Amino acid sequence: MPDQITPEPPALRGLAVIEAVVATLPLSPGVYRMLDGKGEALYVGKARSLKKRVANYTQINRLEERLRRMVMDTISMEIVTTHTEAEALLLEANLIKRLKPRYNIVLRDDKSYPWLMLAEDHAFPQVTKHRGNQSRPGSYWGPFASAWAVNQTVNAMERLFLLRSCADTVFANRSRPCLLHQIKRCSAPCVGRIGAEDYAALVAQAKAFLSGKVATLQRELSAEMEAASARLEFERAAAVRDRIRALTHVQGSGIINPASLTDADIIALWQIAGQSCVQVFFIRGGRNNGNRAHFPTTVKTDEPGEILSAFIAQFYDDKPPPALILANHDLPEGDLIADALSLKASRRVEIAVPKRGEKRQVVEHAETNAREALERRLAESAGQAKLLEGVAGLFSLAAPPERIETYDNSHIMGTSAYGVMVVAGPEGFRKNAYRKYSIRSAITPGDDFGMMREVMERRFARAQKERDEGAPASDWPDIVLIDGGAGQYSAARAVLDDLGVTDVTLIAIAKGPDRDAGREWFFTADKPPFQLPPRDPVLYYLQRLRDEAHRFAITTHRAGRSKALVTSELDEVPGIGTARKRALLNHFGSARGVKQAGLEDLQAAPGINKETARRVYAFFHTQ
């Protein structure tokens, strides 16, 4: 009988992988990734010397328990060398934010920040809110913490400098001034009430204001008002006086406007019960552009400075850092992070921890906001925990559910049909886990059962496969809640049974008579249909889940329908991009007009060359 081979313990297997990698590592800076059996990142780290840093993981007895588990899970490693440690830090932050490794401190910030834009591809620049890629020619100012903050600044730009905020298409088709001109918030360049030269002077003043040169601007406006008054142009003097008043009001309207700060971010961390909140205030041009709370994924053993270091490196991965960053804790590698951000910004970036004076007061203000935001979050979590305990008791679950998935769908007579999944758990709604399902099969108008079946099949067939491949248990639902009655329940139950899904509690929630909210009926496997008392907190919670799924389904359907309305046959013409499509539609009025145009007419359209005209004509006239 052959000798039995004893399987190698997982810890020794991971240790052997790391030791093999260490043997070939250079002493240069770089980034290393530890990967699991599926090739997903467990941990991303940077090092001044890759060989020395990674070799530390081979001393398994000196590692804390969390790192020992990481070594145990490691199946392979990937190495990237860099020229400097600062470059390694930037690459590490980028990879952590993109890959979200299980053992790193991760900033879960998937929301984009709005900016204020002065568009400069028009003779009369427009001031507007902007998100996304900054590809349009113009000046960008920000970031702002919220849409509300940037909208307030847009309103100030209108009152102070009478800049237009209308779209170029609206501007081109005006025949008389709009309401904004009547209420003295626009100079009406669309109908010639102001010339290009005078409008350019207003734009220059707006840029000075946004750059923090408020005192200079105020002196200029005062001189202009006095000069107009001396020329007996009292109406013009009164208009300038109103702008000076508006400027004074805007200067005093911020929550915190420290005189000693022009461009800076104030970043403060607060920790309670092993959880962390980082509050960020944006100061630009001496004005407060708002603040936002972040809750990075951490463990109890992470030190405040360590958390802030990881946060700052990841936070500025996709946004330019200001000249000054004020923090409330010393950073272990503060100088290195400052060097890395200076490299990214192509100018000097300073990170400071003020101890006294106005800057310290600003940091303490941000710290207070971080503490209050974390206390609110913990209070909400405590209330959420009681609700989940109530749900577990109501539906006879062994423990409070960690993941509840709610499904709904929306369509108009079978068109633009979408199904959606909304996810909730102990931390509330998990919007990064929401999913949209564009219905692929031919749906008979009104066949909600068919849509539900397709969504459930697609969701759980994929989930079963991922589960078999070792996906985290947190991605598997404890409860599936669907909007509907006995019919929807039976359709969903049949799908789950066909897929062999037996460890999920399925619940259907149907509105009562006359769709009366508060008299819902619940359908589940273990008991006959039942209702809850009208004021039951668990009923309110389940209604909230159902209503959130309905809201998400409606907005998804409307977005899909709007997108379908703006598509045309021109989208199918090869080699026709957005600019040429717009030029053709503007010239001929519609896709039908383009389709009926002759070759010479197409060649005469602005921005369309002979080759493009030939291609469009051939597409619609295949003969």
Which sign does the torsion angle of CA 339, 340, 341, 345 carry?
Answer: positive
Tens digits of residue pLDDT in 52-89: 999 999 888 888 888 888 998 899 999 999 999 989 99
Q: What is the CATH number of the domain that holds 292?
A: 3.30.420.10
Cβ of 376: how many Cβ atoms within 10 Å? 12
Judge whether 106 lies within some domain.
no
| CB of 522 closer than 8 Å to CB of 529 | yes
| Confidence at residue 382, expressed as pLDDT on a 0 to 100 scale | 78
CA distance 404 to 323: 44
Phi, psi at 488, each rounded to 5°: -65, -35
Query: Which residues 6+ apart lie within 8 Å of 445 measured at CB?
Result: 413, 414
Judge whether 605 lies within some domain.
yes
Tens digits of residue pLDDT in 539-553: 888 988 998 998 988
Query: What's the chain's average pLDDT?
Result: 83
Tens digits of residue pLDDT in 298-313: 877 788 999 999 999 9
Residues of the domain holding 18: 10-99
- Could you tell me if 125 and 15 lie in one domain? no
Tens digits of residue pLDDT in 97-151: 888 898 888 877 666 788 888 888 888 999 888 888 888 888 888 888 888 888 8
Residue finishing a domain among 211, 233, 249? 211
Q: Is residue 185 predicted with pLDDT exceeding 50? A: yes
pTM, full prediction: 0.65
Judge whether 399 lies within some domain.
no
Q: What is the CATH number of the domain that holds 586?
A: 1.10.150.20
Give the CA angle between residues 416, 422, 423 to the nearest 5°: 160
Judge whether 36 lies within some domain.
yes
CA distance 457 to 437: 11
- Tokens 């390694």 correspond to what residue? 88
Find the range with the poorest average confidence among 113-122, 293-302, 481-490, 562-571. 562-571
- Could you tell me if 311 and 422 lie in one domain? no
Q: What is the mean pLDDT of residues 344-362?
A: 90
Q: What is the CATH number of the domain that holds 48?
A: 3.40.1440.10
Instruction: Name the residue among 375, 141, 150, 355 with its Cα closest to residue 279.
Output: 375
Q: What is the mean pLDDT of residues 23-40?
A: 90
Judge whether 280 lies within some domain.
yes
Tens digits of residue pLDDT in 405-446: 999 888 665 566 788 999 998 888 888 889 988 887 766 666
| Confidence at residue 588, expressed as pLDDT on a 0 to 100 scale | 74
Residue finishing a domain among 194, 211, 228? 211
Phi, psi at 245, each rounded to 5°: -60, -45
- Could you tell me if 165 and 274 lie in one domain? no
Looking at the chain, the whole-number percentage of residues with pLDDT higher than 70 is 88
Biggest CA-to-CA distance, the chain: 114
| Confidence at residue 255, expressed as pLDDT on a 0 to 100 scale | 39
Judge whether 606 lies within some domain.
yes
- Could you tell me if 356 and 277 lie in one domain? yes
- Could you tell me if 417 and 524 lie in one domain? yes
CA distance 133 to 142: 13
Looking at the chain, the whole-number percentage of residues with pLDDT higher than 90 is 23
| CB of 281 closer than 8 Å to CB of 366 | yes
| Confidence at residue 43, expressed as pLDDT on a 0 to 100 scale | 92
CA distance 549 to 20: 50
Residue finishing a domain among 193, 211, 229? 211
Number of domains the chain contains: 5
- Could you tell me if 464 and 492 lie in one domain? yes
Judge whether 279 lies within some domain.
yes
CA distance 247 to 213: 12
Distances, alpha carbon 325 to alpha carbons 40, 119, 216, 337, 365, in Å: 33, 29, 26, 11, 15
- Could you tell me if 486 and 539 lie in one domain? yes
- Could you tell me if 529 and 452 lie in one domain? yes
- Tokens 């000249």 correspond to what residue? 323
Give the CA angle between residues 589, 174, 565 to the nearest 5°: 40
Q: What is the CATH number of the domain that holds 518?
A: 3.30.420.340
Q: What is the mean pLDDT of residues 212-231?
A: 75
- Could you tell me if 549 and 454 lie in one domain? yes
- Could you tell me if 207 and 81 lie in one domain? no
| Confidence at residue 5, expressed as pLDDT on a 0 to 100 scale | 46
Tens digits of residue pLDDT in 147-178: 888 887 888 788 878 889 888 888 888 888 88
- Could you tell me if 558 and 580 lie in one domain? no
Helix (H) or strand (E) holding 435: strand 435-438
- Could you tell me if 341 and 440 lie in one domain? no
Judge whether 282 lies within some domain.
yes
